[in-house]
Structure 1
């Protein structure tokens, strides 16, 4: 029995999209990538977080909910998803609120919508967390050259990492694989990618044995 939903989570610049694409090619999975460039609020958000925080997060939340429904409606193939609906709420919206960029009123409205959606969401069969420290994230962000991301502050990335650690340490919704990517370059080094694949294979075998 093959898994239906594999999800990759991690901070901005941790390598989620690239890994999703490589795993898609390696395993023959369908890749469902985060619609970053399609978000009409993102560029405005990085220029004025206070004004656009609620808008940008609501767009991502709705987009992710559509993705999850699409994944579960596709029964005949495995989908690898770049970022999860949980991160939208527990990491990004929570961080914006605690950092003063999202008002209490907007945050509560956001959470109400999230909790209404999450009642209809099944967790992924396997969640892969790419753990990366700030220097690694900054290098990756600079390398991909999205001009609107140049405004991202170090303390913003650091706060996100803290929220990720808290969430991952308390994650109990399904199988979890944590991969420290600080010293890995799975794009240019074949051995590093093979190392990740071997870890995923162990988890997939475990899932298969549980289903048998």
Structure 2
């Protein structure tokens, strides 16, 4: 039923919340095509975490062109023959830009974004994963990616707040907001099954899943 109802699923959320791991797990379960961000290909990202003011713009523009390219390739194929699971939503790129760029850089970024006029496939479902900044810090440290270890709780708090504002206004696709404080669908199969059941039972365009043990 999930494959028939949702052919293109996007999983989103702040750094460390587990969106990529969940996307991989879901793609494996449903034999779906997996479309992932490639942060390791961005040469400016490690420098951004060391000096965000200096490297915010090139970091942001690299991600913008990378994401547009990935989604354009997807749009040109008949991907409806198979399910597609992705770990990024292009629209959130502007959210990051608003958070990291200064006023003049943001104007330049917006001009470039508008000039590109990206036409990308609309997801059938967006799953937005939430967690507190404290938990995000723990998860980031646990996965031990070198350049991420300098990420502060303050930055993750700002990022989480930006995501909350973004998805508060988001209406581009059906949205499931999932609190992952007590839900671990990646490491606990029973939690993954709970999440799938919640997805399959969705009736409206916006629902919340706040599982408590």
What TM-score results when the alignment is normalised by the length of structure 2?
Answer: 0.87
Deviation (angstroms), 1:67: 1.7
Q: Which runs of 5+ in 2 are unaligned?
A: 206-213
In 2, Cα distance between the equivalents of 1:118 and 1:7?
20
Match of 1:99 in 2: none
Deviations 1:70-129 (A, max 9, x none): 222232222111111111112x11111xxxxx2322111111222334452343111110
Partner of 2:120: 121
Q: Give the superposed CA RMSD.
A: 1.8
Task: State whether structure 2 residue 83 is matched by structure 1 residue 84.
Answer: no
Relative contact order higher in (CA < 8 Å, ≥ 6 apart): 1
Structure 2 residue corresponding to 1:68, chosen from 63, 68, 71: 71
Q: Which residue of 1 aligns with 2:208?
A: none
2:26 aligned with 1:23 = yes
In the aligned structure 2, how far is the partner of 1:180 from the partner of 1:44?
31
**Aligned pairs for 1:102-117 within 5 A:** 102-117=101-116
In structure 2, distance between residues paired with 1:55 and 1:119:
19
SS in 2 for 1:127: strand
In 2, distance between residues paired with 1:66 and 1:164? 23
Aligned residues: 200
Deviation at 1:173, TM superposition (A): 1.1
Detail structure 1 runs of 4+ shifted over 3 Å in the superposition. 1-4, 116-119
- The corresponding residue for 2:211 is none
Q: Distance in 2 between matches of 1:117 and 1:77?
A: 28
TM-score where L is the length of structure 1: 0.88
How far did 1:160 drift? 0.8
Paired residue for 1:165? Answer: 164
SS state at 1:80 partner = strand
